Chain A
Amino acid sequence: MSEATLELFGNTLFWPLLTSIATAAIGGLLLAGRPSCGASRVAATALFAGAALGLVLVHDGFRFPPARSPDRLLPLLALGSFGPGLAPRRGRATTLIGAALLIGVALLWLLWPLLLRWPPQNSALVLLTGGALWALLWYSARHGAQRDYGASCLLAPLAMTAPVVAIDGSLLIGQFAGVLAATLGGWWLYSLLRAPCALGGPGSDLVAFALAAVLAMAYFYAGLDLPALLLLALSPLVGVVLAGVLQALTVWQSRILAGLACALPGSLALWWVWPQESLY
């Protein structure tokens, strides 16, 4: 394996995974003796640390304020980490309004360079349909947040997003998805070694935000095919549909089955974008 390939795998998979595991382990040590398996905030912190390091390693031209669209992803992860915590939790209506506002801000931030050029009606349509899809993905993630198999329902779509986007759009954005998958995989491994543990609300919020952002970026900036986008964005919903079946299984069985089931739409997406001829 060449040095450049090793560097690519290191930046995309190894370092984010290691950072995620290390941060989760340190958080776990700091919280030793306290109730709950590491607390969900440890998961969110571990995920953010791994993802932030990976994104900066992969995209070495990162700038803030953003000069180009890939620069917009890292601040969006911060919004996914801390934004949901700021949303009011006083009743269903205010929670929904808070979530809609957060998604609206995220889409505006991500698509701002394009919205400036599009006619207003196109922008409104994109914000409404994109927002609805984003909300559905977020809802699916939250549905599994307190369940042992919840992380599998996000890990599988992220892992499938990486090759699909790399083939049908941008290697850079595909690498972003790879970084996020490796980061979540790191936390998943840690929680397996330590104790079966649910991802929790903050961790699920962050991963759902990250997955939605990567897919939106791949679609609007890199021309990802719409069927592939829909298959990947709706993958976590499989966990919601199969909730009754999964909850009747053991922890291990539910994790594995959830992962396999939620990877199916992504596999279809991979088949959809697979090049008819060889990769160039």
Chain B
Amino acid sequence: MKTLATSLAAAAVLFTGSALAADDYKIDPTHTTAQFIAGHFGFSDLVGRFNEVAGEFTLDADNPANNSVSMVIQTASVDSNHDKRDEHLRSPDFFNAAEFPELSFTSSSYEGSAEKGVLKGELSMLGQTHPVAFDVVKIGEGDDPWGGYRAGYNATAVVKRSQWGMQYGLPRIPDEVTLNLFVEGIRR
């Protein structure tokens, strides 16, 4: 009975138009940036990024609700344009890269059109997982000069780092951090 149900479900997926319209993309790390903006004692905003990003996303042109993303970021690749500060950001005060080498985001739902919408999902960092909602805007898609097909999006979310246990320096170093993702993917 269980086998029959599984077969029926598989057949339903195979013959549903929306499933056929979905395209899988591999994130191109050379054209993708995961950026964060954090306050510096209330004087200014500090911009940093992670240099090692990987992942994939699925776009469904007929039914954007099926759009999904999964990304993995190497925390040791944090880069704030200052070596000593980067060492500090890798330490247990912040990303604790030795103990938690990766942070990841996996989407759970998407609301909106093919052009823009809200992508909800789970952000895992420092051993804890909490929901995050990204505002997503499509930048473009089309054939690239090398025979491939690409699509790109920008996404922004504001999170409170203390939710993941990153409490060092509060409240002088503000709790709220802006996350910006500039993502380009190559269709498989």
* A194 adjacent to chain B (CB < 8 Å): no
- Of chain B, the residue at the smallest CB distance from A4 is B172
Stretch at the interface among A94-102, A140-148, A220-228, A236-244: A220-228
Report how many A-B pairs have Cβ atoms within 8 Å.
65
Bound Cα distance from A99 to B54, whole angstroms: 46
Is B114 in the interface zone, CB < 8 Å from A?
A: no
B100 contacts which chain A residues (CB < 8 A)? Answer: 68
Find chain B residues with CB under 8 A from A113 CB: 99
Min distance, Cβ B164 to any Cβ of chain A, angstroms? 10
Complex interface: chain B residues within 8 A of A60 (CB): 167
Q: In the bound complex, do residue A67 and residue B96 qualify as a contact, i.e. CB atoms below 8 Å apart?
A: no
Among B19-27, B29-37, B59-67, B86-94, the stretch that binds chain A is B86-94
Asked if B92 and A68 make an inter-chain contact with CB atoms under 8 angstroms apart, the answer reads yes
The proximity string for B residues 87-116 relative to A, scoring 1 for CB distances below 8 Å and 0 otherwise, is 110111100101111000000000000000
Main secondary structure of the interface of B (DSSP, over half): loop
Q: Per a CB cutoff under 8 Å, which of B87, B101, B128, B171 touches A223?
A: B87
CA distance A137 to B165 in the complex (A): 33
Residues of chain A with a CB closer than 8 A to B84's CB: 275, 277, 279-280
B148 in contact (CB, < 8 A):
no
The reply on B127 being an interface residue by CB < 8 A is yes
Task: For B96, list chain A residues within 8 Å (CB).
Answer: 68-69, 221
Does residue B130 face the partner (Cβ distance < 8 Å to A)? no
Asked if B160 is at the interface (CB within 8 A of a chain A CB), the reply is no
A168 within 8 A of B: yes
A171 to B165, CA, bound (A): 16
Q: Which residues of A contact B169 (CB under 8 A)?
A: 171
Contact of B172 with A169 in the complex, beta carbons under 8 Å = no
Say whether, besides A68-B126, A68-B165, A280 and B85 are in contact (CB < 8 Å): yes
Q: Does B2 contact A (CB under 8 A)?
A: no
Q: Name A58's closest neighbour in chain B (CB-CB).
A: B168
Is the Cβ of B92 less than 8 Å from the Cβ of A222? yes
Complex Cα–Cα for A279 and B98 (A): 23
**Closest residue on chain B to residue A67 by CB atoms:** B127
Mark A236-280 against chain B: 1 for CB-CB distance below 8 A, else 0: 000000000000000000000000000000000000000101011
How far apart are A164's CB and chain B's nearest CB, in angstroms? 13
Q: Does any Cβ of B come within 8 Å of A61's Cβ?
A: yes
Check B188 for interface membership: any CB of A closer than 8 A.
Answer: no
A170 at the interface (CB under 8 A from B): yes
Whether B99 pairs with A171 at a CB distance below 8 angstroms is no
- Taking CB as reference atom, which chain A residue is nearest B172? A4
Assess whether B98 is in contact with A171, with CB atoms less than 8 Å apart. no
Interchain CB contact under 8 A, A114 and B98: yes
**CA of A4 to CA of B174 in the docked complex: distance in angstroms?**
13
In whole angstroms, what is the CA distance A29 to B21 when docked? 81
On whether the beta carbons of B99 and A172 are closer than 8 Å, the reply is: no
| Chain A residues near B93 (CB-CB < 8 A) | 170-172, 222
Jot down 17 A-B pairs with beta carbons below 8 A, ordered by A.
A4-B172, A60-B167, A61-B167, A68-B96, A69-B96, A69-B99, A170-B91, A171-B169, A172-B93, A173-B91, A173-B92, A220-B98, A221-B99, A222-B87, A275-B84, A279-B84, A280-B85
Kindly list 6 other residue pairs between chains A and B, CB separation below 8 angstroms, not including A170-B93, A171-B168, A275-B84. Answer: A171-B169, A172-B92, A220-B98, A222-B91, A280-B82, A280-B85
Residues of B within 8 A of A (CB): 82, 84-85, 87-88, 90-93, 96, 98-101, 126-128, 165, 167-169, 171-172
Q: Closest 8 CB pairs between A and B?
A: A170-B91, A222-B91, A113-B99, A280-B85, A172-B93, A221-B98, A170-B93, A4-B172
